[in-house]
A and B are shown apart, each in its own frame.
Chain A
Amino acid sequence: MKWRYFRQSVFFGVVRLSALIITLALLGIIAFLFYNGIRAITWDFLTLPPTDSMTKGGIMPAIVGTFYLTVGAIAVALPLGVVSAIYLTEYAKQGLFIRIIRVGVNCLAGVPSVVFGLFGLGFFVVFLRFGSSILAGSLTLGILILPTIIGSAEEALKAVPQTFREASLALGVTKWRTISRIVLPSALPGVLTGAILGVGRAAGETAPIMFTAAAFFTAALPKSIFDEVMALPYHIYVLATAGTHIEQTRPLQYGTALILIALVLGIDLFAIIMRSAVRRKKRW
């Protein structure tokens, strides 16, 4: 008896420890960024473009750029991903064809992000002549996060009780309306979770926007979706590797990283609040 309880408490200890390590790692990263970056953050840092060969001034154009790119990526990936998930779970006859599509989606999730960048360069920037722009960058990031969105939307749709579909269909409601009025609203919290994951990924990626959207330096804010923009991850990359004042700009790099994290968490927080608002309305 004693031995069994001993094993149990060892196991629980390990479980607890793993959770603790993960939490500490996350807190550690945030604390590290905060410690190193907080001094760089001033009102001017947030509201001015970089000056003096990017050794002074702020990162406002990069904040705006990353915001646009992230929103653009979600605007591309969320509708497309949800519609694909609806097709895969609700309409398609399960069979070889669907299996191939699923494998394709999973492969897409495993493709290195720099490959997406090159694809974006070749297809959106050059072939479709969008140039290096918010549009090209958003589309590239959108494709990058598409598997995440499709995957979580599929899970969310599958989690909707079959009885809801039956109840609606048995009332003589068409399949499409059953999906749009009953199934999709019930799946919305799960879909939003996917969107949250997608936002984090899209905002933080450097490689996909390097060739498709990000400018090394531009003080002006974008006027249309065909303008190129500065972006936070790329700005960090530039300051940390490509400048002539790498050591000098260290605080600015940390400050930029801190702002990037804050921006992602901000967007996430918005999605989480939306999700809990939706959840409160749908209980079963």
Chain B
Amino acid sequence: MIITTRNVDFFYGDFRALSSVTLDFEKNRVTALIGPSGCGKSTLLRLLNRMNDLIFGTRVEGEILFEGRNIYAPDVDPVEIRQRIGMVFQKPNPFPKSIFNNITFAPKLSGIRDSRAMEALVEESLKQAVLWDEVKDILDKSAMTLSGGQQQRLCIARALAMKPDVLLMDEPTSALDPISTAKIEELIEVLKKRYTIIIVTHNMQQAARISEYTGFFYLGKLIEFNATEKMFTNPDVKQTEDYITGRFG
């Protein structure tokens, strides 16, 4: 158990986006969060590395434990949390910098100075994201010249360069074409050996393909949490079955 949520409620102003979510994320596994738009799955994901702190007028109740420590405790520095829990967004969002500098931006600020070590880190991260062969000769070119799929893998490499324990992915393939999507899915397959991956997805086939556990959300509630295989073949809750078989959503 690397991350555990205990009775998490979340409010945007008066609107209750999550109610009483209790959920365990297992280490080195892929957990998928599914559900219709507005069900709170992305909200929960962004709570796990305190990205919702950036939105004014929000409130969290309950506990989110990362390795047993409540990340919303007053003495916790969200910057540290985010260094250990990386995130990949829906739309690829590389910085308007070179490919090389996209990777080195955050590690440099966290204190890596040696240029040899930095080059090794860039190579290692890009290899992990299966992008190295495509970009090794154009590292000083702007990241904006890459294709959407390449940009998304660059964003994954950039997150991996911080050596996180957990990788949060917020619909990472929804802006990509099928070939790029397949590449990202293959990548997730490899990455789960070293990282805990939590992925929000609209695509149920994707959840079935890549995850070991799946959580189904509806109207801010966790309806069912189960092993993916069970979830997609014989769910415990009727509502889950209705959603998965396409009867609503």
Binding site for B on A (CB under 8 A): 93-94, 161, 163-174, 177, 181-182, 186, 282-284
| A170 partner residues in chain B, CB cutoff 8 A | 49, 51, 82, 86-87, 89, 159
| A93 partner residues in chain B, CB cutoff 8 A | 56
Chain A to chain B: the 5 pairs with minimum beta-carbon distance, closest first = A172-B83, A171-B106, A172-B82, A163-B93, A170-B87
| A168 partner residues in chain B, CB cutoff 8 A | 95, 105-106
The chain A residue sitting closest to B49, CB to CB, is A170
- Asked whether A173 lies within 8 Å of B54 as measured between CB atoms, the reply is no
| A182 partner residues in chain B, CB cutoff 8 A | 95, 105
12 intermolecular pairs with C-beta atoms under 8 Å apart:
A167-B94, A167-B95, A167-B158, A170-B89, A171-B82, A171-B83, A171-B86, A171-B105, A172-B106, A173-B79, A181-B105, A181-B109
- Asked whether A169 lies within 8 Å of B51 as measured between CB atoms, the reply is yes
Smallest CB–CB gap between A116 and chain B, Å? Answer: 36
Smallest CB–CB gap between B183 and chain A, Å? Answer: 20
Within 8 A of A (CB), among B103-132: 105-106, 109-110
- Asked whether A172 lies within 8 Å of B79 as measured between CB atoms, the reply is yes
Cα–Cα distance between A284 and B95 once the two chains are bound (Å): 8
The one of A177, A181, A283 that contacts B144, using a Cβ cutoff of 8 Å: A283
- Asked whether B93 lies within 8 Å of A172 as measured between CB atoms, the reply is no
Residue B96 lies at the interface, judged by CB distance under 8 Å to chain A: yes
- Asked whether A167 lies within 8 Å of B109 as measured between CB atoms, the reply is no
The chain A residue sitting closest to B83, CB to CB, is A172
Residue B58 lies at the interface, judged by CB distance under 8 Å to chain A: no
- Asked whether B96 lies within 8 Å of A169 as measured between CB atoms, the reply is no
Chain B 68-97 per-residue mask, 1 if CB under 8 angstroms from chain A, else 0: 000000000001111110110101011110
